[in-house]
Amino acid sequence: MKTAFRSVLFSILLLAIAAAYAATATTTFQVTATVSAGCTISATNHDFGIYTPSLLADNTNGTNVVTATCTLGVPYSIGLDAGIGTGATVASRKMTRVGGTETLNYSLYRTVDRLVVVGNTLSVDVISGLGTGLAIDHTMFGKIPAGQNVPVGNYVDTVTATITF
């Protein structure tokens, strides 16, 4: 037993001496990533509801939301085209009667007072923002001018919203 104890003690002593003479080496490395600028855009439909042409002094108003989600710190601009109605401009868009050719004028604005239209010319009539990494809602304020002489029916237009970043 004494011999076994001495053997174990000798082994421990040899391991301790070996550890005292052990060498180490180190290195460093970099950890990198590139964050790219990115944006997505979505929009709700704009439903004006019922328009009554005989109410000559009353505009029909409505709203919808265009949502931008951009990388933190990325500047962006949202533009709306004139829509697909024949003869439409960003100042006076046109819904076309389903099954017909008649048009109903309307406008989309970026201000609640419905004075500043939204178009698609950068630095002129677009909505600008700065990405936060979260969804940012932008309300579009619409108006159908009163007093338009149009036949009964459903009117529709398709507007394309584009985000530039």
Return the domain boundaries, the chain: 39-164
**C-alpha to C-alpha distances, 74 to 11, 35, 36, 68, 119, nearest whole angstrom:** 65, 11, 10, 11, 21
Q: How many residues does the chain have?
A: 165
Q: So what's the pLDDT on residue 54?
A: 83
Arch. (CATH architecture) of 39-164: Sandwich (2.60)
Q: Kindly report, residue by residue over 112-158, the tens digit of the pLDDT.
A: 999 999 999 999 999 999 999 999 999 999 999 999 999 999 999 99
The predicted model scores a pTM of 0.81
In angstroms, the first-to-last Cα distance of the chain is: 81
CA atoms of 26 and 23, how far apart (whole Å)? 11
Q: Please list the ranges in the chain whose pLDDT falls under 70.
A: 1-20
Q: So what's the pLDDT on residue 71?
A: 98
Asked if 73 and 112 touch (Cβ cutoff 8 Å), the reply is no
